Amino acid sequence: MLVSRKWLQDYVFLPDSLDSADLANDLTIHTVEVEEVKKQSEGLEGVVVGKILSIEKHPESTKLSIAQVDVGEEKPRQILFGTLAEMHVGRRTAVALAPTVLQGKEINKIKIAGQVSEGMLCLYQELGLRDEDEPLEAPEFDKDVKLGTPVTHALGLDDVIIDIDNKSMTHRPDLWGHYGIARELSAIYRKKLEKYDPPKIQEGKDVKIEVDIKNPEVCGRYMAVVVDGVKIEPSPQWLQDRLVAVGLRPINNIVDITNYVMYDLGKPIHAFDAEGLSGNKEGQINIEVRFADDDEQITTLDDSEHILGKENLLITSCDIPVALAGVMGCLDSSVHDETQRIVFESAHFDPTNIRRTSMRLGLRSDSSARFEKSIDPTSCEDSLRRAVELTLQLCPEAKVVSNVADAKSFKLSQGPIELSLEFLRRKMGVEISEKQAVDILERLGFEVKTKKNSLLVTVPTWRATKDVSIADDLVEEIARMYGYGNIEAILPTYEGAPPSKSPFKIAQKTARRVLAYEKSFTETYNYSFESPEWLKRIGEDISHYIRLDNPVAKDRPLVRRHLYPNLLSNVANNLHRRDTVKLFEIGKVFHREDPGERIHPTSSDLLPRQDLFLGIAYADKKDQTPFLVVADAARAVLDQMGVEDYIIEKFSMPVDFVHNGRCAQILVDGEQIGVITEFHPVALQRLDIDHRVACAELVLSKIALLAGDSVHYQPIPEFPSITRDIAFVVDASAVHAQIVNELEAASDLIESIELFDVYSGEHVDAGHKSMAYKIVYRSKEKTLTSDEIEKEHAKVLGMLEKKFSAKMRA
Amino acid sequence: MKQELKKIQEEFKKQLKEVADFAGLSDLEQKFFSRKNGEFTSIMKGLKELTDDVKKEMGQMANDVKKDLEGLFEDKRLQIQQKEMADIVERESIDVTQPLLPKKAKGHLHPITQAQDKMEEIASNMGFVIEDGPELESDYYVFGALNFPDDHPARESMDTFYISDNTDWCMRAHVSNMQVRLMRKYNEDGTKAVRAAYPGKVFRNEALDATHEHTFHQFEAFVVDRNINIGNLVAVIKELLRGLYGREVDVRLRPGYFPFVEPGFEMDMKCLFCRGEGCRVCKHLGWVEMLGCGLMHPNVLREGGYDPQEWSGLAFGMGLTRLAMMRYSIEDIRHFMSGDLRFLQQF
């Protein structure tokens, strides 16, 4: 919202010595965030009033003309201009004198086709004073304006505009007009606040206006009055200037008055053309406030049509809609050039109803923006009085011809709220006196009665709609005016024990460290949402997925059950640019069929289960068996976490996108804690991925609870070890894990077994493979003799030959 | 014999001069001092046959010559050793600027992980328990328990993702859903103080562009104790920011509104780049908006199982995504969730 410093001066004295930047800062610190402060003259410093002495055609350009312009200097300036606006000799207009910067744009002395231009004739638009969509026009000044006068003086642009962030005052309905801001400034600077007290309306008797509110739950008050004899014309300059200053476009006197009152008091009001309220009997106007019928149609004054529903509130006269309550008037009842008799409305509507209507219809207005904030219903009266006062002032012929209708049922909870001084001090952390507290509250319009060690505080109407209702709210009022910067920062003492670390956090940290810094995987983050199209292409069954009711991206309405689909997509995208892609992600997945956390402390209803998964994905254009790299990474994570006795075994999944020849599950005590697989090459083709890809998914939230110590210290051995390398040929289906198991069982003297080569191809029969192991023998009791070793080793080889039909290689 | 000794001495010196390496040195040693048939050894052997008088004289002389020769030999050895070492240095000289080949690939942690780790570490040292919880959450924990009125705009589907077939569930719009969960988890029926921090992933129904994401990350924390005041709030946050930036920071509070705190504040930090003078980073304001914070609303304490007459709390929350964007001057928020290695491998 734009606020004019001059306008504020109507209600609170702000000395010239008060710098506008300081004012903005003080407002920010104590009340609302000021985004920008701008002098109206900013960017117009080099623009003066000049008189056109002569105009000639440019000899070489059909579009340009050459003017000699008297700008109050010794000699006239030669200035080239185009065809955008009409210019004639003798006209006094705005001239930017080169060199200068006009609204951020440099204006320099230039030569166009041999002709020098020493400045620019400026349109209102170029001065930044009118919107681009308004008619192009240059300012025109009277004869009595001295040439060379800065245009900012000539146009009266001596105001300072304060731009307040609307988001910072959504909870402060009282601040949406100048009077509310002035009230804050009066409290900040301890200055007197002028009373907002327009004269009482002198009722007329010609017309009887009656209001019937059918739905008082959404319309707490409706006031209306009829004024006759208005003459629609442009507003006087002072009024136009004020509206322009706050970014509004002057329309005509009556519309301008409604806007003025809205920006003055923060209360939207509306003016109807009384002729537009058709169907009324002579001397009688009936207004009814009711919900629309389903599919009821209206045309609002911006000439757009709307189909309404039962929840939209209408203002009607003789059952014909005349306004969409709080949002916008209807076209047929709007004020136009011939309007003579008007009805002013000042009403109070339910904020939620207005917001929903405005959202549903996509129709936002300055009025709806304010009604959404819970405006003070008592301001109906002041705003109506102000509107009538201004109308009578602007149209001396006009007079009030009706009673002032006032249908109301609103309630305000003004308290009193009891605020104990002890409570206040405890919350602020500051010794604050009763006198200080009372002073601040009273400056903000609260009424305070003192009781022993506490205050009884009555909330003013403009703060009582939702903003201030409990003692804590009063603490805020006092503290913000006292100044948050004046409160000393002291760390709270803490007597609790140091916090225990969550196993889930530790597991994540370990996994990240191992994968990124040992196994050179890069961490990625993905959306929790999935595209059904992608899942279907993969071959994933989407029937179990939780769906979003209102996905932002229409292509991602599903809530993920796995990490692999997004990872697979990451791999595909990166493979366009890289030969190797190694990614992992840690994140939650969502399974509706499994029980999760409670939805409420006392409810037995449960949320979907949300396990923390670790996803690992890898592809290398040169690696035809990426499974092994991913499995190695998964093992490293489990080992580093100290997960004991996990088993990786062949696994088969009933889906076609999994390469079941290269698929494994990870088990701990028979429970699956992860799956490692390559994708089936045919399925990858469906996804336009030309290279082998492997993925693993580990259930980190389960693994975290199985974590132990990754280090198992053994005393340094006393006796020497003997190492034997063996190589043998077995059937290709032989399984390393089984061989290791059998080896371990075959001899008590085996200390360690390490596979160091697997080979198939030349010199190995088809359907077979050669495997090579390093076996270390050691006794804890003595130094083994070579005889003992040979005997033991022969036993081991015998077992391999027997159980695995292994043929030893030389 | 005297002459023979002299001759050998001369001969040795002459030949020693010509020796250029350890091999030559070894040959020379063999030639003169070999136990079997070294020239010098042979002379020494001849000593036996001399008379005692002569033997003594000659023995003395032979010893002197031997010492002299050994000394020369050792000098030569050192000389050759030095030369050999210098030769190795020359011969084995390498290009020290050459990287290790083949290049070892490096892994990377996501920038938000790194920001989060740092915050977690500082908070943990300050006594905060670090947790996370449901991302798909009930309306109660996301809004109801946090003093959001039923008709609050944030509850509209314009802002929050809701779940089909269960209007009570949504994707949490902030990590504040953890406030009541963690109070109840740790406060032993409202009898114990709690400090908790709970960074995590949040979701807003927002159209994507360079500055808007529907999925981003927040860090939030609260303290509940018997006497928590505004001064405590400022001090706790300052301490955290000091840890984050590794130096003292200036902060200021200004009024702000969040339903779950009262009073509520926005906190600005004096710009670290220009120290408040105004620069591009702080948009010439001298201050950078850091976070929202406040004293916990009594209704929230009540939902957390505390008696607000006895207990009070502070809470503050900030955007981790925004923090990372500021830290690295990242121009487009969409990079974070892009899975693009060109982005991820820079961290």
Q: Among the three residues B91, B119, B140, which one is the final residue of a domain in this structure?
A: B91
Domain annotation covers residue A496 = no
Residues B203 and B148 in one domain: yes
The pLDDT score that the predictor gives to residue B3 is: 84
Cβ-defined contact of B129 to A527 (cutoff 8 Å): no
DSSP letter, residue A128: T
Among residues A592, A323, A522, A86, the alpha carbon closest in space to that of B169 is found at A592
Number of domains in chain A: 6
Q: Which residues of A fall within a CB distance of 8 Å from B206?
A: 552
Q: What is the CATH number of the domain that holds A751?
A: 3.30.70.380
Q: Which residues of A fall within a CB distance of 8 Å from B157?
A: 549-550
| Contacts across the A-B interface (CB distance below 8 Å) | 245
Residues B133 and B266 in one domain: yes
Domain annotation covers residue A298 = yes
Tally the residues of chain B: 347
Residues A212 and A342 in one domain: yes
pTM of the predicted protein model: 0.86
Q: Name the residue among B130, B252, B337 with its Cβ closest to that of A485.
A: B252
Series of mean pLDDT values for 10-residue runs along chain A (810 residues): 96 95 95 93 92 91 91 93 86 93 91 90 89 87 91 90 93 96 96 95 95 96 96 94 93 96 97 88 92 95 94 94 95 94 96 93 93 95 97 96 96 94 95 95 96 94 93 96 94 81 94 97 97 94 94 85 97 96 98 94 94 97 96 96 93 95 96 97 93 97 92 91 95 94 94 95 92 95 92 94 91
Cβ-defined contact of B193 to A496 (cutoff 8 Å): yes
For B49, the domain range is 2-91
Domain annotation covers residue B105 = no
Q: How many Å apart are CA B260 and CA B142, to the nearest integer?
A: 11
Report whether A11 contacts A189 (CB < 8 A): no
Strand partners, A728: A771, A808
Residues B35 and B150 in one domain: no
Q: Among the three residues A154, A173, A197, which one is the final residue of a domain in this structure?
A: A154
The pLDDT score that the predictor gives to residue B281 is: 79
Residues A150 and A168 in one domain: no
Alpha-carbon gap: B100 to the closest alpha carbon of chain A (Å): 16
Q: How many Å apart are CA A541 and CA A548, to the nearest integer?
A: 17
Domain annotation covers residue B170 = yes
How does pLDDT run across B177-215, given as a tens digit for each residue?
Answer: 999 999 999 999 999 999 999 999 999 998 889 889 999
Residues A322 and A351 in one domain: yes
The whole-chain average pLDDT of chain B stands at 91
Domain annotation covers residue B243 = yes
What's the whole-number mean pLDDT along residues B136-152?
93
How does pLDDT run across B97-126, given as a tens digit for each residue?
Answer: 999 898 888 999 999 999 999 999 999 999
Residues A324 and A403 in one domain: yes
Number of domains in chain B: 2
Q: Which residues of B fall within a CB distance of 8 Å from A369?
A: none
- Transcribe A686-698 into DSSP letters: HTT--S--EEEEE
Report whether B262 contacts A472 (CB < 8 A): yes
Q: Name the residue among A498, A573, A590 with its Cβ closest to that of B136.
A: A590
Strand, coil or helix: B262? strand
Q: Which amino acid is at A192?
A: K
What's the complex ipTM?
0.87
Report whether A612 contacts A700 (CB < 8 A): yes
Residues B22 and B124 in one domain: no
How does pLDDT run across B240-294, given as a tens digit for each residue?
Answer: 999 999 999 999 999 999 999 999 999 999 988 888 888 887 888 889 999 999 9
Report whether A306 contacts A324 (CB < 8 A): yes
The pLDDT score that the predictor gives to residue A624 is: 94
Count Cβ atoms below 10 Å from residue A632 Cβ, excluding itself.
13
Q: Name the residue among B137, B158, B263 with its Cβ closest to that of A472.
A: B263
For A302, the domain range is 208-408
Q: What is the CATH number of the domain that holds B147?
A: 3.30.930.10
Q: How confident is the model at residue B133 (pLDDT cuts 50, 70, 90)?
A: very high
Residues A254 and A301 in one domain: yes
Mutate to test the interface with B, among A350, A598, A600, A612 (most CBs of B within 10 A): A600
Tally the residues of chain A: 810
Mutate to test the interface with B, among A164, A566, A607 (most CBs of B within 10 A): A607
Which DSSP helix (H) or strand (E) runs through A540? none
Residue A486 CB burial class (10 angstroms; 0-12, 13-18, ≥19): exposed
Residues A521 and A653 in one domain: yes
Q: Name the residue among B136, B201, B264 with its Cβ closest to that of A559.
A: B136
How does pLDDT run across B163-178, given as a tens digit for each residue?
Answer: 999 989 999 999 999 9
pLDDT tops 90 at residue B313: yes
